[in-house]
Amino acid sequence: MYYVYVLQSQTDHGLYIGFTGNLSKRVVQHNEGESGSTACRRPLKLIYYEAYLLESDALGRERFLKSGSGRRYLDKQLRGYFDQRPRCKTA
């Protein structure tokens, strides 16, 4: 399985979108500071993920979610979550 995931920083409330073959291990790596792009934004909380059988499908979805249309999709998909929790729109 391949996963596309969204993490939310508990310090700046921004989002990080990523791709992995091992979701639980990757979330631990992010929270242990092993990823340069999120090390200073810890702790991070997994708020959304999708699973794919093919790596190419997951990579395509990751690219989409990082786009403006993908960010708008996440805003709608996670509306209830964001209504209850702060969010930084610029991250």
Give me the tens of pLDDT residue by residue for the chain, a chain 91 residues long.
999 999 999 999 999 999 999 999 999 999 999 999 999 999 999 999 999 999 999 999 999 999 999 999 999 999 999 999 877 665 4
Neighbours of 7 (CB within 10 A): 25
Give pTM, 2 decimals: 0.93
H or E element at residue 55: helix 55-65
pLDDT for res 90: 52
Residue found under tokens 């996963």: 3
Task: Return all residues near 68 (Cβ < 8 A) that are at least 6 apart.
Answer: none
pLDDT for res 89: 60
pLDDT for res 91: 44
